[in-house]
Every structure is written in C-alpha cells, then in structure tokens.
Amino acid sequence: MKIKIALAQINPLLGDIEKNREKHLEFIEKAIENNAQIIVFPELSITGYRLKDFTMEVALPANSNFFNPILKQSKKIDIAFGFVERGKDNNIYNSAMYIENQSIKSVYQKIYLPTHGMFQELRFMGKGEKITTFKTIYGNFSMLICRDLFHPSLLFLTYAQKTDVVLGMSGMPLRGVTGKKPAIQETVEKAIDTYTNFFSQFIVFVNRVGFEDGLGFYGGSFVGTPLGKKLAFAGILQEKLTFATIDLEEIYKKRQLFPLAREEDLNIVQDNLRRILEENYGKF
C-alpha cells in the first residue's frame, strides 16, 4: 500500500490556541488540495512549547469541542497533532492525537519529559506510561513525542507491537551549530536511520520551527524509510509543507533481506528484564 503523507513544519504561536487552530486548518486544506492522505504536525502544535505557568490555562481534554473544526476535516484526511491534554485523571500531559474519519483513533502521552538545562517539562506536566500501536485504514501506527525518540526502548516496543509507521512529533531546539549541519540534526538523523534499519519501520519526523523565550527550533522534518532513504526533507528554520509517498511494501522487502523480526524472542527479553529489575531494583 502506498500512502501520501504531508509533513506540516509549522511555527505555532505561544499560547494562542485559536490562531494555532486556524493555522492547522490552513495547512490541512493545502494537504487535501495536494491529495495527501495523512497530515502530521509537530509536538504541542496547538499551544506552542515554552508555556511554563500558562500550561494549565491551555490544557484541554481530548474530546473538547475546541477540536471539532479539525475533527470535521478528518473526513477528508487523517490528522495527527500535538496539544496539552487535561487527562481523565486531572493531570496535565504533553500529548498527541490521531484522528480518522471524525473519530479519535489514539491519544498518546509523552513518556520522557526532559527537565534539565533549557528544558522544564516535568515541572508542569505528568509522564505518560503506555506505548501502543493503533490500527488505521493505512496500517499499524504509533506516536512518539520528541525526547521519546532518543530512547531506543520505546522504538523497540513499537516494533514488538508490529508498528508499520511511527509518527515522531517534535519540538527540538537548535543547538550545536559548528559543522555543515547542526549537531542536533545529525543526532536525530543518525538515530532515525538506525531505527528504520533495524526495526524495518517508517518514521515520520516532524519538527517545528520558530523562536520562543530564547529557544530556536530548527525544523529539519523528513521521513526515514526501511531501505535507508530520506524523503520530503523540509529544510531548516522555515515553515514548510512537504509531501512523501511511502510504500508499505518496503517493510516486507526489508524484513526478508534482514529478518530480525523473525528471529526476535520477546520471552527472552521479558525474562531478562524481570531478572534485571529483581537484581538491581528489588522489584518486578
């Protein structure tokens, strides 16, 4: 199956959820005009990133009527976007939502919240706990958010659940500008190349651009493929809508050439994790 995916590398306005929703609708309309079947936005695309004490003011439950205009557009195109979620447990989460045909297919809560240096996420939001694969009309999908992509364990968990496409929605700041590419861009591209190679998945990496409170976000969105290609590179430091057509047949081809999935033994993984937890942490 071939799927045309739109990568919406946008610059959200900090805290202005109304204007950000309008920008989403504009980009969605452009994607529909270009016959895309899925559009993916960055991390916290509805709210912006450096919210700090304003976080609770923009938190919304996933079923909020605020999202109805976006939900309506999902009759024509599947949509994945980021928002601050007021969870059912009344905690606040850095979340991503996937909607298909006016229905919420999945809400993912970011697990690894960086809280060091320039990052303060855990001060204002709670940790998610669950990695899931959800079925769409196009195949098995998972969502991860920004720092999650630097934890190979989470990618392995998507692989173990037979995910075809990982949506990596990001608000990655620019840093390490010394060579031909920013160091952070090289790190991300190397990580995604490794995951797509070993796990035979597609990874759709969509990073935001713009500046907030002294932080600059570099963009650099692209799609990594199981056969090692980079598609729809959006460049850096500019808003852009790019398109990639992916072919899920690549997963089949790669898994015959490099049959790691056939060799994988989750029972061995489970037994060793149990032992490690018992020996090092006194619990399971």
Q: Which CATH number does the domain housing residue 260 bear? A: 3.60.110.10
> Using CA atoms, how far apart are residues 59 and 90, in angstroms rounded to an integer?
10
| Domain of 267, in residue numbers | 2-281
Residue 176 has pLDDT above 80, yes or no: no
Count each helix (H run) and each strand (E run) in the chain, helices first. Answer: 8, 14
Residue 166 has pLDDT above 80, yes or no: yes
> Using CA atoms, how far apart are residues 79 and 98, in angstroms rounded to an integer?
6
E strand map for 21-151: 38-40, 78-86, 92-100, 103-109, 134-136, 139-145
Contacts of 257 (CB under 8 A, 6+ apart): none
Q: Where are the alpha helices (DSSP H) in 125-263?
A: 152-160, 183-199, 249-257, 260-263
Q: What's the pLDDT band for 121 if we cut at 50, 70, 90? A: confident
pLDDT tens-digit readout, 180-215: 788 899 999 999 999 999 999 999 999 999 999 888
Higher per-residue pLDDT: 48 or 281? 48
Q: Find where tokens 């969870």 sit.
A: 87
Nearest Cα neighbor of 36 from 71, 83, 72, 2 is 2
pLDDT value of position 62? 98
Q: Cα torsion at 147, 149, 150, 152 (round to 10°)?
A: 140
Q: Find where tokens 């989470």 sit.
A: 154
Sign of the CA dihedral with 44 first, then 45, 47, and 50 last: positive
pLDDT value of position 117? 66
* Contact yes or no for 226/201 (Cβ under 8 A): yes
Percentage of residues of the chain with pLDDT beyond 70: 98
Residue 5 has pLDDT above 90, yes or no: yes
Residue 283 has pLDDT above 70, yes or no: no
Nearest Cα neighbor of 130 from 86, 176, 96, 174 is 96
Q: How many CA atoms lie within 13 A of 39 on its CB side?
A: 30
pLDDT value of position 38? 99
When divided into structural domains, the chain yields a total of 1
Q: Where are the alpha helices (DSSP H) in 180-240?
A: 183-199
> Using CA atoms, how far apart are residues 189 and 200, in angstroms rounded to an integer?
16
Which two structure tokens, joined as six digits, stand for 181?
């590419």
Q: What's the pLDDT band for 56 if we cut at 50, 70, 90? A: very high
> Using CA atoms, how far apart are residues 93 and 55, in angstroms rounded to an integer?
10
Q: How many CA atoms lie within 13 A of 138 on its CB side?
A: 26
Residue 59 has pLDDT above 90, yes or no: yes
* Contact yes or no for 223/5 (Cβ under 8 A): yes
Averaged pLDDT score across all residues of the chain: 95
Residue 260 has pLDDT above 70, yes or no: yes
Type of residue at 220:
G
pLDDT value of position 284? 58
Tell me the backbone φ, ψ of residue 31, rounded to 5 degrees. Answer: -65, -40
Provide the 8-state DSSP code for 90: S
Rounded to an integer, the average pLDDT of 225-246 is: 95
pLDDT value of position 178? 73
Rounded to an integer, the average pLDDT of 46-63 is: 95
